[in-house]
Amino acid sequence: MNSPQHSPLDDLATKVLLDIADDAEREELARLVAASPESRRRFLDNAMLHGMLVREARAGSFAPSKGEFFRNLENAPARGARRLRHLLLPAAALVIISFLLLFLLPMKANAALDRVIDVMSQARDRTYRIEVIEAPQEPRDSSRPDRGRFPVGNFLDGAALWMRGPHEFVLSQDLPNGQKRLIGADGKESWSMRGGEEVRVSPDPARFGRAIFAKNGEIAFLDLRTQLEELKRLYQIEWLDRTSSASHKLIATRRSADQGGAREIELWFHPQTGVLEKMILRQLPRGNGGPHSIAITLVSTEALPADFFRHQHHHEPDRTVLPEP
């Protein structure tokens, strides 16, 4: 094909549509588009072509081979239009409508979060590793008598976290004195133990989980399901990446500076299963000490023993148990 003629407007329009224009170029294009009907028509030519290429690509027109096209379809993320599906439910046309619209319309960020929450709500065993991304230069509060020698939030790097359903978790931390500390809950009661010392047990299933970051209703990372529910209310949810075949990513930004909780939360989840694979919490509230930012990464979904979340699983039968009122 011959080299096509083009104008400065074409250059700018292409850059804007490919998302590589700088602010000056965007402003210049806006000025040109406002200036004349011819410029608007030409810009729309570019924009409509771009839109048509997006749709053609989704139809597989550019796939190098039919095999790859069908592989892409098989690997494509489930596309949900929850509200639309709800609206059209009662009709006999449901199957046709759902198929067509679900296929044609990709998923919104909030709908993706709903899916992650649904999966998180199921009683499925998961093992996570906690990594401190950004620690304070000088951990504070470590001498506060009401928080003990080793505040939970100050020793999270390398900790392991096991989860099943709501209020079922175990957190394992290595302390500087060589002891291991375990904090957990089995859905009915929560418990804590350190080294070979006695086991403290509370009838409140959230009692020991609250020790970590939760204060005045702030979000506690241990109860991920509740936290994700809160995200919808307190945070602006947007897509960060939904093209990768490995992980899809959402980013949640706190709506108000007055509200507690991490300022920004990144959620990585499996495109097909919706299983949360990684959660990055940035700029955590530091009222209880602890790190600025942490990452929680999925290590395994292997099934755990049935009684894993009960304290008895983690100590000898003759260990002293101190019930709390």
Which residue among 8, 60, 217, 323 contacts other proteins (CB under 8 A)?
60
Q: Which of residues 154-213 bind other proteins (CB under 8 A)?
A: none
Helix (H, G, I), strand (E, B) or coil at 243: coil
Q: Is 33 in the site for other proteins (CB under 8 A)?
A: yes
DSSP assignments along 276-305, one per residue = EEEEEEES---TT---SEEEEEEEE-PPPP
Interface with other proteins (CB under 8 A), residue total 66
Least Cβ distance, residue 50 to other proteins (angstroms): 7
Q: Which of residues 86-125 bind other proteins (CB under 8 A)?
A: 87-88, 91-94, 96-97, 100-101, 104-106, 108
DSSP label at residue 152 = G
Sorted by sequence, the CB contacts under 8 Å of residue 138 that are 6+ apart come out as none
* Alpha-carbon span 296 to 133, nearest angstrom: 10
Helix (H, G, I), strand (E, B) or coil at 62: coil
Least Cβ distance, residue 98 to other proteins (angstroms): 10
Is residue 255 exposed (0-12), middle (13-18) or buried (19+ Cβ within 10 Å)? Answer: exposed
Stretch that binds other proteins, among 1-9, 172-180, 251-259, 299-307 (CB under 8 A): 1-9
Q: Are 133 and 148 in contact (CB under 8 A)?
A: no
Least Cβ distance, residue 192 to other proteins (angstroms): 44
Contact residues: other proteins, CB under 8 A: 1-6, 10-11, 14-20, 26-27, 29-30, 33-34, 37, 40-41, 43-58, 60-64, 72, 81, 83-84, 87-88, 91-94, 96-97, 100-101, 104-106, 108, 239, 242-243
